Amino acid sequence: MVDVAAIFKAYDVRGVVPDELDESVARAAGAAFVEVLDVLAGPGAVVIGYDMRPSSPALAAAFAEGVAGTGVDVIDIGLASTDMLYFASGRLQLPGAMFTASHNPARYNGIKMCRAGASPVGAESGLRDIADLVAKAVAEPPVSVPAPGKVTRKNLLTAYADHLNDLVDLRDIRPLKVVVDAGNGMGGHTVPAVFATGPVEIVPLYFELDGDFPNHEANPLDPKNLVDLQAKVVEVGADLGLAFDGDADRCFVIDEQGAPISPSAITGAVAVRELAKHPGSAVIHNLITSHAVPELIAEHGGTPIRSRVGHSYIKQQMAETDAVFGGEHSAHYYFRDFWRADTGMLAALHVLAALGEQDKPASAVFAEYERYKASGEINSRVDDAAATVAAIEDTYAGRDGTTVDHLDGLTVDAGQWWFNVRASNTEPLLRLNVEAGDAATMERVRDEVLALITGKPVEEKN
């Protein structure tokens, strides 16, 4: 029997198909989703989308059966990116479920759930209750109601593209050539619709929808998955490169020289653009983004608000503060104009607008938002994460000019450098991020902390 507790994570459902996630779990999840969100008494319908993975249509259909079996109607939008599902949830004011495993390998699938208006369903806001009901239903399947809800197909791709283009109008920018690597994921479905007209010439890479990912994993966070895009940008003399993950809710950016532009620089650039339209607004940034981000927000008249890592925390803070925008180090970007949901496509449009409104190349435009040297996220396997973090804190706490906080894991800030170390929610890993004013300092601090994590000194590089 499937271990339901193991596949329900902090923010979504994710597991190997069919060993950890199968149609019986999806069907039970549909019924539980209706009960926990009280859909029958509220909006009366649920919107469902799915990605290109071979298992996605069947899992989505099973979830729809579970929903309909409670008497609730289903709006099936078919193939979709995750941000397209959020669009549907926001536009239709319905709770939604997206079947995708995002950037994970082909054997995985999962469910991302939201309330009406794309509000998050996290561990503390319904996901644990859904998991408990699913576990009971898998053990003893319930009897469906006599009058099930109906399932209706609805194509929202054009409406989604039109909404994004209304938010960022590219018609007056200079012509741009842009290579897009969809990684055989849902960007291959949404990019042609979003860029159907206008001055942006798209050079497609791996637009064929294929959930087996024959070219590379749809995980742009791993540098090896950017190699083809970087080479193509240089080969065709493109102005920019964009890489989307499997469900196309995250976007990574490559400059004209083939060099990655950090998500923190993109966060800073988009924040400046949004503050120009909405002066004085709050902007959320998670605590792993570069210190350049809150500096830029403050310099442009905004209020920077620091958040824990994770979409449910950022969306909650955006709602509480009416923030206009939020950004994460992992290339998730959240917009008030998009129901506070994350959309890599809207971030990409902002990037293209920022570039196309001036004559400088991307490397020069976005260098203005890169002020410090960062390590990137470094994962280390540990036996006892809590003890390791405590030992690190003992080493650094109390040093002159050093502050410590525990908003999310352990953050140590010495002014000219800082680092954060936090435990993974799902694996025996510690995640380390270091930033400093220069590369030498960053590398020194990085290696010091890694030595504490691993229990052995980091080998010097020749």
Q: Are 82 and 242 in contact (CB under 8 A)?
A: no
Q: What residues pair up with 203 in beta bridges, in sequence order?
A: 179
Amino acid at 204: P
How far, in Å, CA of 352 to CA of 325, rounded? 17
DSSP conformation class of 338: G
What letters, b where the CB count within 10 A reaches 16 and e where it falls short, cover 360-389?
A: eebeebbeebbbbbbbeebebebeebeebb
Q: Is 380 a catalytic residue?
A: no
Rg of the chain on CA atoms, in Å: 22
Q: Which ranges of 358-461 does DSSP label H, i.e. alpha helix?
A: 362-367, 385-396, 439-454
Residue with tokens 């971030």: 347
Task: Write down the catalytic residue from 55, 56, 89, 102.
Answer: 102
Burial of 406 (0-12, 13-18, 19+ CB in 10 A): exposed
Residue with tokens 């919107």: 47
DSSP conformation class of 383: S
| Region class of 343: left (phi > 0), else alpha (psi between -120 and 50), else beta | beta
DSSP conformation class of 271: H
How far, in Å, CA of 285 to CA of 275, rounded? 14
Burial of 461 (0-12, 13-18, 19+ CB in 10 A): exposed
Q: How far apart are the first and last CA of the chain?
A: 52
Residues marked active site are found at 102
